Structure 1
Amino acid sequence: MKLNIKKYKEQIQIWPQAGHHIMAQYDNEKIVVYQSYKKQIGEFAVKHQFFGGGFSLERMTWIKPNFLWMMFRNGWGTKEAQECVLAIHIKMDAFKNYLENSVYSSYTYKLGITREEWQDQIQESSVRLQWDPDHDPFGNKIERRAIQIGLRGEFTKRFAKEDILLIEDISDFVKEQHQFVLNDDLDNLWIPEEHPLLFDDEDLNKKLRLT
């Protein structure tokens, strides 16, 4: 496994507790995002190092850079058709491009535009941006917000193949760590090492409401 892992309890000592943060494992060249699929799709992706087979290029696909947010959504890999948990290493430039072209999935006056202008942007954009409550290992909501990004059309096609550097099946790791959660033993819980991501582009940081 190429992921860097670190004890959960060590990480929460330095993580921000509130605000909008892209919590992720990244460097200047790449960032890791997570998805869960049924075995057929996941095994194809790992074998071929791109998405194909049963993967639909016509549907919107959602990526999450935050490991625990993915664990909340897939029940630590126990939900039906989400048993195969993938860590997808993608180009940082591609990830930034997704966000630069994103439109918030729901309207709020904080966007600084009218609802009609937002609806026009939704029609034109192929990238959705959404902030939701982050969660602890047990699935409880916390104050910090977690990001997820929806891709469709040409963005999905690029994500599925040319933006990918590595696809890893981390299902066994997820199952192992889930046992510590089930046993209420967070002292021994290891998860991917993550840090808040900020961009050099202040306009993009402002658009994303990054704290």
Structure 2
Amino acid sequence: MPEPKYQIRSLHTGSTVTVYQAYSPEIGLPAARDGRFPGAWKRDRMTWIKPSFLWMMYRCGWGSKEGQETVLAVEISRAGFEWALEHACLSHYERGLHADRATWKRQLKRAPARVQWDPERDLHLRPLDHRSLQLGLAGEAARLYADEWTVSITDITSLAHTIHAHVQDGDLETARQLLPRESPYPVAEGDLAHLRR
């Protein structure tokens, strides 16, 4: 069975969902140590969270890119995650989904969250045919994420480096076994209708 083109896949429990971000050590290390984002974390800026571990590895180069050396697994409440999805707007205009470009621009400006669907990645970080959710949080959503939805923050930089080392060695089976167990996130079909192309 081929993967559905637009589907949220994540590591999740009955009450939480894990998303990934990467920061400089100045932000990432205190966040992991204290289990919450430090004062230096800008609550008035858009922040992007990714439920896909491999998409995060593509974005941060396995924790090697400048300013993204500390890879974090951020466990947040499912209630918060679903609130963000409900209040999100697709990050680009889509004919047939939005009434017109002006309506989409108004929705985007008001929305505290936005969604992009980018190609999922394989272990070599090559694009796949199905898409991975990227969820941008701004304003109210960013503050809620940092101060209310976050349950735990774990530094998984060493895991990223270990998996990458196995990939470089050609040991894809060991690398695959170490990946977080992501499965389809249970969202009612209609709940994503406003976020699919």
1:79 aligns with 2:65: yes
Match of 2:179 among 170, 184, 191: 191
1:175 aligns with 2:161: yes
Amino acid in the other structure paired with 1:205: L
- 5 Å matches for 1:53-68? 53-68=39-54
Q: Distance in 2 between matches of 1:35 and 1:160?
A: 12
Does the CA-based 8 Å contact 1:62-1:149 persist in structure 2?
yes
- 5 Å matches for 1:22-101? 22-101=8-87
Q: Distance in 2 between matches of 1:115 and 1:68?
A: 33
Q: Distance in 2 between matches of 1:129 and 1:204?
A: 13
* Map of 1:102 onto structure 2: 88
* Map of 1:207 onto structure 2: 194
- Residue 119 of structure 1 aligns to a residue whose secondary structure is helix
Give how far 1:148 is off. Answer: 0.4
* Map of 2:140 onto structure 1: 154
* Map of 1:7 onto structure 2: none
Give how far 1:34 is off. Answer: 0.2
Q: Distance in 1 between matches of 2:55 and 2:41?
A: 22
Give how far 1:18 is off. Answer: 4.5
Does the CA-based 8 Å contact 1:60-1:156 persist in structure 2?
yes
Q: Distance in 1 between matches of 2:112 and 2:195?
A: 17
Does the CA-based 8 Å contact 1:198-1:205 persist in structure 2?
no
The verdict on how the C-alpha distance between 1:130 and 1:205 changes in structure 2, with shifts beyond 3 A counting, is same
Q: Percent identity?
A: 36
1:143 aligns with 2:129: yes
Task: Please report the TM-score for the alignment, with normalisation by the length of structure 1.
Answer: 0.88
Does the CA-based 8 Å contact 1:45-1:51 persist in structure 2?
yes
Q: 1:149-190 deviations in whole A, cap 9, x for unaligned?
A: 001111111101211111100111111111011112201112
After superposition, the CA RMSD in angstroms is: 1.6
Aligned residues: 195
* Map of 2:101 onto structure 1: 115
Q: Distance in 2 between matches of 1:206 and 1:118?
A: 15
Q: Distance in 2 between matches of 1:21 and 1:92?
A: 16
Q: Distance in 2 between matches of 1:112 and 1:55?
A: 33
Q: Distance in 1 between matches of 2:173 and 2:19?
A: 25
- Residue 132 of structure 2 aligns to a residue whose secondary structure is strand
Q: Distance in 1 between matches of 2:114 and 2:56?
A: 17
- Residue 122 of structure 1 aligns to a residue whose secondary structure is helix
Give how far 1:64 is off. Answer: 0.2
**Unaligned residue ranges in structure 1 (runs of 5+):** 1-13
Amino acid in the other structure paired with 2:185: L
* Map of 2:112 onto structure 1: 126
